[in-house]
């Protein structure tokens, strides 16, 4: 786990480097708000297509080869992004990057391999902390390099830095990461009939609890992705912010999320249960989104975004934990791949929807819509928790 954690952190720092500058990079090539949303969405569209493939492949050939291959692809995609000379090139580079993003679902499957069900929340929390650290250091580096002026920003150098960090993660993984699936486990999975495995996976997905959790994952990721896609444009119009300020804000939010996910999530899950954490996270995300359009100072904006990000930071690993403990060990890779597909689909719909709503209705509309969606999802999660308690008492 510690080795995987460090590798994922380095890789996600590279991912985070380009986050605060992508909307400005697109607008540099005269992209409209809806085109910016589509640029953010195309990464996830390609990831959506590839995620189940990577998950199933990791079940059959092992987690490490898939992690290494996807990281190598990320290096090439970042280099291409750095050399992009048109909006079309930006779209193609991000599509390649998304297709090669099989390391995320595979990393979650790796965690499921090496943890018990009792410690699963802690392991998923560590992966969530790796994401948060990536969003601490990455956006800060990207914003610092790109600069504060959106009209004269350096968009290329951060992309090459991201490529270098992914290359470092690749080399580190090749030499120090151990395979989490034993040869016996791989042989069993390879010998298993594909239709039998699909039946087992579909049986897991047909479980009512898993279906609800996947819907919640879809909704939460959709609204947060819409926020990520539109926030740079929103802050630029409201406060005159550029890549530097946006990078620092995402870095601050990442610090707080890392503290919660890395140090507190496992303890909170054992004390309150992952279901209660899901309800709390959904409500917090809803409240944070609802407040953003009403802020008038940078301090208020930081507080609102912190509430939203912490809500999502608790909600996402809690949902992954709840899903993983409801599936058999032999279908963890496929189950995580399907779950990741649902969330990556939401990262296609969310940015695209957010960009269109931003352009057509107004810059505040994506946040009001997201707050409403998460309020409904919080109620759904609360009712699901109540029903589960009722069934448990009846039994």
Which stretch of 144-148, 249-253, 286-290, 320-324 has the lowest confidence by average pLDDT? 320-324
Which stretch of 5-9, 151-155, 282-286, 342-346 has the lowest confidence by average pLDDT? 5-9
pLDDT of residue 390: 47
7-30 confidence digits (pLDDT tens): 777 777 877 788 888 888 999 999
Q: Is the pLDDT of residue 356 over 90?
A: yes
pLDDT of residue 182: 65
106-126 confidence digits (pLDDT tens): 777 777 777 776 677 677 777
Residue 183 in domain: no
311-355 confidence digits (pLDDT tens): 988 888 888 777 777 655 555 555 666 776 777 788 889 999 999
187-222 confidence digits (pLDDT tens): 665 555 455 445 545 655 566 667 788 888 889 999
DSSP structure class, residue 156:
H
Mean pLDDT of 298-313: 90
Which stretch of 119-123, 235-239, 356-360, 375-379 has the lowest confidence by average pLDDT? 119-123
Residue 348 in domain: yes
pLDDT of residue 92: 95
Residue 117 in domain: yes
Residue 16 in domain: yes
Residue 182 in domain: no
Q: Is the pLDDT of residue 246 over 70?
A: yes
44-62 confidence digits (pLDDT tens): 788 778 877 777 787 777 7
Whole-angstrom distance, CA of residue 133 vs CA of residue 292: 23
Residue 234 in domain: yes
Q: Is the pLDDT of residue 128 over 60?
A: yes
283: pLDDT confidence band, cut at 50, 70 and 90? Answer: very high
Residue 184 in domain: no
Give the CB-side neighbour count of residue 141, counting CA atoms within 13 A: 22
pLDDT of residue 138: 84
Mean pLDDT of the chain: 81
Domains in the chain: how many in total? 1
Mean pLDDT of 358-376: 94
User: Which structure tokens are listed for 111?
Assistant: 């965690």
Whole-angstrom distance, CA of residue 343 vs CA of residue 266: 22
Whole-angstrom distance, CA of residue 278 vs CA of residue 272: 10
CATH, residue 60: 1.20.1250.20
Output the 3-class SS for 288-352.
HHHHHHHCCCHHHHHHHHHHHHHHHHHHHHHHHHHHHCCCCHHHHHHHHHHHHHHHHHHHHHHHH
287: pLDDT confidence band, cut at 50, 70 and 90? Answer: very high
* Highest mean pLDDT pick, 113-117, 187-191, 264-268, 300-304: 300-304
Q: Is the pLDDT of residue 89 over 80?
A: yes
pLDDT of residue 193: 45
Residue 61 in domain: yes
- Per the structure, the complete domain to which residue 323 belongs is given by 2-177+190-394
Mean pLDDT of 294-320: 89
Mean pLDDT of 143-161: 86
98 Cβ neighbours under 8 A, 6+ residues apart? 42, 43, 44, 45, 46, 47, 50, 344
């Amino acid at each position: 786990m510690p080795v995987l954690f460090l590798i994922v952190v380095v890789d996600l720092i590279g991912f985070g480097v380009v986050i605060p500058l992508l909307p400005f990079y697109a607008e540099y090539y005269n992209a409209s708000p809806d085109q910016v949303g589509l640029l953010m969405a195309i990464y996830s569209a390609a990831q959506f297509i590839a995620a189940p493939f990577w998950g199933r492949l990791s079940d059959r050939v092992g987690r490490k080869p898939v992690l290494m291959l996807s990281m190598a692809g990320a290096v090439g995609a970042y280099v291409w992004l750095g050399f992009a000379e048109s909006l079309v090139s930006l779209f193609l580079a991000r599509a390649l990057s998304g297709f090669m993003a099989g390391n995320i679902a595979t990393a979650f499957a790796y965690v499921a391999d090496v943890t018990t069900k009792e410690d699963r929340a802690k392991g998923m929390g560590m992966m969530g902390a790796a994401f948060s650290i990536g969003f601490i250091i990455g956006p800060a580096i990207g914003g610092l390099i790109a600069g504060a002026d959106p009209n004269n920003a350096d968009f290329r150098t951060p992309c090459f830095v991201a490529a270098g960090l992914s290359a470092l993660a690749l080399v580190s993984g090749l030499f120090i990461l151990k395979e989490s699936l034993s040869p016996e486990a791989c042989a069993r999975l390879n010998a298993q009939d594909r239709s039998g495995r699909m039946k087992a996976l579909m049986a897991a997905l047909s479980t009512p609890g898993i279906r609800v959790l996947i819907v919640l994952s879809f909704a939460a990721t959709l609204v947060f992705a819409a926020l990520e896609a539109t926030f740079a444009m929103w802050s630029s119009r409201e406060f005159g912010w550029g890549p530097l300020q946006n990078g620092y804000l995402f870095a601050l939010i990442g610090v707080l999320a890392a503290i919660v996910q890395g140090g507190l999530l496992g303890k909170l899950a054992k004390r309150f249960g992952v279901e209660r954490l899901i309800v709390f996270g959904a409500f917090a995300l809803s409240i944070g989104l609802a407040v953003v359009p009403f802020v008038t100072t940078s301090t208020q904006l930081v507080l609102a975004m912190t509430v939203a990000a912490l809500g999502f930071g608790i909600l996402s690993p809690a949902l992954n934990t709840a899903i993983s403990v409801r599936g058999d060990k032999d279908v963890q890779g496929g189950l995580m791949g399907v779950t990741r597909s649902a969330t990556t689909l939401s990262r296609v719909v969310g940015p695209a929807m957010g960009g269109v709503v931003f352009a057509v209705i107004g810059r505040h509309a994506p946040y009001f819509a997201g707050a409403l969606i998460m309020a409904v999802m919080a109620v759904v999660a609360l009712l699901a928790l109540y029903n589960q308690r009722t069934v448990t008492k009846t039994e």
